[in-house]
Amino acid sequence: MTVSQGGLYWCRGGRGNPVDYTEYSDSIRINTIVSNKAVVTLRPNWTEIYRGEAMMLRCDIHDRDTEWEYEWETLHYTSLNQNEYKISKASSYDSGNYRCKGKMKNARHISTEWSDYIKLTVSDNAPESVLTVSPSWLSPGDSVTLSCEVEHPSAGWRFYWYKTVPKPSDKSYSYELLPGSTNGTEQDSYIIHGSTHTAGYMCRAGRGDPVFYTHYSKPEFVWSGDVHSAVTLKVSPDRVQHFTSDSVSLSCEGNSTEWRVRRFPEEHYWSYCSNWRSMTGSTCNIDSSQQSNAVYWCESGSGEFSDAVNITIQNADIILVSPVHPVTEGDSVTLGCKLKTGELLSNVFFYQNYKLIQNDTRGELNISAVSKSDEGFYKCKYSGKESVQSWMSVKAVSRPESSSSLIPLIVGLVCGIILIILLLLLYRYRRSKDSHFIRPIQSDSTNQDPAVNHMVNLNETQDNVYSSLLHGDASVYESIRGSEDTENDAGESQDITYSLIELKNIAKRGKRHETVESSVYADVKIGSAAGKSTPAATDEAVYSEVKPGTSLGQ
């Protein structure tokens, strides 16, 4: 049989003459199978999908010169004339094996072989996202790394990152997208740089078009002991460790009208404290009947988080008395030890990071000025009984920008102004050297006192300036000498310029209102080069007097 012999076939019988025919038999189709084979591809390319996702299967035949009709075979029915099989919203009903083949449009008895099966698995439950945060307890300047994991992971996920915002209407949170995650990230981690405050975060994943999302993760929190939060948690009694017989109350302070206290880990008997309450005059009592260690913080109705504290409830005979909030550098702090009977103790041993630091008759550990080296784990021991250890945090002093940081700038400006004044005086002198002569001066520069004079040579390529500041009432001289030319020593004289500034302090003398005015003189002198002075040479000097008034003495 050739390809052209494929098609529908039937038969009938006949005998005699004339021939008596029987009825026609039922027809059968004989298809011709060509060598081309159909291939099923999945878009998007993942075989494990979830209820509600959109999927599409495509039947591809490599012979593009022939027009084909398509036939799909699924678990439930057969579909014709489509090379794409679309699933708009997957359900468990769509699970199963899929295959396809092609038939020539002009010769439908000619077809390809069936493709291989492709198996789809549709899960009824959307996957969960699980968020982890590191670190969970912040030190100043720490960066926080968020990591999001999809339950039963498969291909194609992008990750979305959110900050939690407390909802006053109930105990849940609303979500705010973090910067850069509007369209999701390919990476399953996200870094928040320099986080310093208590905060909650969530994540979820999405894939496909339209995007199919996983469930939101449970909120995870990072905690900070920063006491400068907009909302502050107050603990009474103000210590970390408590006996199970103690009454411990919590309250929040801030500008919000509502607040609630949150705890990690959250347990069933904690639901009362997690209710919203008025900010004024309201407290929450911890159920201290059970031994527990937990982190506590406040959330305000305006979406703010307070500093967080560790609170330990102990069914023990002895506890350490230590502050629940961080201690600021430079402050004093006292640690104590307390028995369940409430009596004050003496002869107590105190340990820092497992090292004995005090073992005398005192019952308290006093630190007059706390430093960062005092931060660590502390515990106490008395008469063979030992408390559990608690962490004491030391907070660096918050130093505002000091005005002392402006001193270098001010000094630079003053020096610049003085230099400009000197240059202006020098320029003025050179412009008016032929007038306003006051007195002759000596031409021999060697008469100047070397203790208060500085000679500077100027050459054609470089100027060097040296200055000297003498305290008290001494004068300050700055002298500039022209560069000496040894070849011209015999016949040429060179100008020498002196600049004299004399500073005098204002001092009260005699009566209260009698003062001595202070003046500043600039003395510019002209003379011949050293060694070339003659009696006939006349030097000229210009004085410029500046009286700053009373401000100089201030």
Q: Which of 164, 176, 156 is nearest to 55 (CA)?
A: 156
pLDDT of 221:
94
Residue 508, domain member (yes or no): yes
Q: Is 341 helix (H, G, I), strand (E, B) or coil?
A: coil
Residue that wins the pLDDT comparison between 514 and 330: 330
pLDDT of 380:
95
Tokens of 549: 């008034």
Q: Is 541 helix (H, G, I), strand (E, B) or coil?
A: strand
Cα 460 → chain centroid: 55
Parallel, antiparallel, or unpaired for β 475-482 and 455-458?
Answer: parallel
Q: Where is mean pLDDT largest: 255-269, 286-300, 382-396, 442-456?
A: 382-396
pTM above 0.85, yes or no: no
Q: Which residues pair with 111 in a beta bridge?
A: 33, 103
**Residue 267: which pLDDT band, with cuts at 50, 70 and 90?**
confident
Mean pLDDT across 237-253: 92
pLDDT of 454:
39
For residues 42 and 81, membership in a common domain is answered with yes
Taking CA atoms, 398 is separated from 98, 138, 324, in Å, by: 68, 17, 20
Mean pLDDT across 215-230: 87
**Residue 415: which pLDDT band, with cuts at 50, 70 and 90?**
confident
Mean pLDDT across 277-301: 84
Cis peptide before 166 (omega within 30 of 0): no
For residues 364 and 470, membership in a common domain is answered with no
Mean pLDDT across 280-307: 86
Of 123, 141, 163, the one marking the end of a domain is: 123
Mean pLDDT across 277-290: 80
Report d(CA 242, CA 460) in Å as an integer: 83
Do 296 and 309 meet the contact criterion of CB atoms below 8 Å apart?
yes
For residues 26 and 139, membership in a common domain is answered with no
Mean pLDDT across 180-184: 92
Mean pLDDT across 422-448: 60
For residues 453 and 545, membership in a common domain is answered with yes
pLDDT of 29:
59
Number of domain units in the chain? 5
Element counts in the chain: helices (H) and strands (E): 1, 45
Mean pLDDT across 301-319: 91
* CATH number where 51 lies: 2.60.40.10
Quickly tell me which residue has 């390319």 as its tokens.
Answer: 45
Mean pLDDT across 144-156: 88
Q: Which of 135, 131, 133, 136 is nearest to 159 (CA)?
A: 131
**Residue 497: which pLDDT band, with cuts at 50, 70 and 90?**
very low
* 470 has a pLDDT exceeding 70: no
* 188 has a pLDDT exceeding 80: yes
Residue 335, domain member (yes or no): yes
Tokens of 173: 């949170």
pLDDT of 521:
43
**Residue 28: which pLDDT band, with cuts at 50, 70 and 90?**
low
Which residues have CB under 8 Å from 49's CB, separation 6+?
A: 55, 90, 120, 121, 122, 123
Q: Which of 309-313, 410-414, 437-441 has the weakest average pLDDT?
A: 437-441
Residue 408, domain member (yes or no): no
| Residues above pLDDT 70, as percent of the chain | 70
Mean pLDDT across 369-392: 94
Report the length, in residues, of the chain: 554
For residues 163 and 83, membership in a common domain is answered with no
For residues 393 and 420, membership in a common domain is answered with no
Report d(CA 338, CA 538) in Å as an integer: 94
pLDDT of 342:
81
pLDDT of 242:
95
Mean pLDDT across 21-47: 74
Taking CA atoms, 111 is separated from 3, 9, 10, 118, in Å, by: 10, 17, 20, 20
* 438 has a pLDDT exceeding 50: no
Mean pLDDT across 150-162: 88
* 550 has a pLDDT exceeding 70: no
Q: How far apart are the first and last CA of the chain?
A: 121
Residue 301, domain member (yes or no): yes
Report d(CA 409, CA 435) in Å as an integer: 39
Q: Which of 441, 446, 447, 444 is nearest to 539 (CA)?
A: 441
Mind listing the pLDDT tens digit for each residue in 52-69?
Answer: 899 899 998 887 678 888
pLDDT of 65:
72
* 297 has a pLDDT exceeding 90: yes
Residue 13, domain member (yes or no): yes
Residue ranges of E strands in 405-474: 455-458
Residue 278, domain member (yes or no): yes
| Residue 107: Cβ-neighbour burial (10 angstroms; 0-12, 13-18, 19+) | middle
**Residue 494: which pLDDT band, with cuts at 50, 70 and 90?**
very low
Report d(CA 496, CA 304) in Å as an integer: 73
Mean pLDDT across 23-52: 76
Q: Where is mean pLDDT largest: 261-270, 358-367, 431-440, 464-473?
A: 358-367
* 551 has a pLDDT exceeding 50: no
Of 336, 369, 398, the one marking the end of a domain is: 398
For residues 443 and 499, membership in a common domain is answered with yes
Tokens of 144: 């926080």
Of 272, 296, 315, the one marking the end of a domain is: 315
For residues 245 and 357, membership in a common domain is answered with no
For residues 529 and 466, membership in a common domain is answered with yes
* 468 has a pLDDT exceeding 80: no
Taking CA atoms, 369 is separated from 3, 280, 391, in Å, by: 101, 34, 18
**Residue 353: which pLDDT band, with cuts at 50, 70 and 90?**
very high
Q: Supply the range of the domain harboring residue 148.
A: 129-222
Mean pLDDT across 105-109: 76
Which residues have CB under 8 Å from 381's CB, separation 6+?
A: 337, 348, 349, 350, 351, 387
* 338 has a pLDDT exceeding 90: yes
Mean pLDDT across 126-145: 90
Greatest distance between any 2 Cα atoms in the chain: 170
For residues 444 and 520, membership in a common domain is answered with yes
pLDDT of 399:
57
Residue type, 239: R
For residues 427 and 373, membership in a common domain is answered with no
Report d(CA 117, CA 47) in Å as an integer: 12
Residue type, 211: V
For residues 199 and 292, membership in a common domain is answered with no
Residue type, 256: S
Quickly tell me which residue has 């105990």 as its tokens.
Answer: 171
Residue 549, domain member (yes or no): yes
Residue ranges of E strands in 105-257: 110-113, 118-123, 129-134, 144-150, 158-166, 173-177, 189-192, 199-207, 212-213, 220-222, 232-236, 241-243, 249-253
Q: Is 474 helix (H, G, I), strand (E, B) or coil?
A: coil
Residue 329, domain member (yes or no): yes
* 158 has a pLDDT exceeding 60: yes
Q: Which of 143-157, 366-380, 444-458 has the weakest average pLDDT?
A: 444-458
Quickly tell me which residue has 């291909």 as its tokens.
Answer: 155
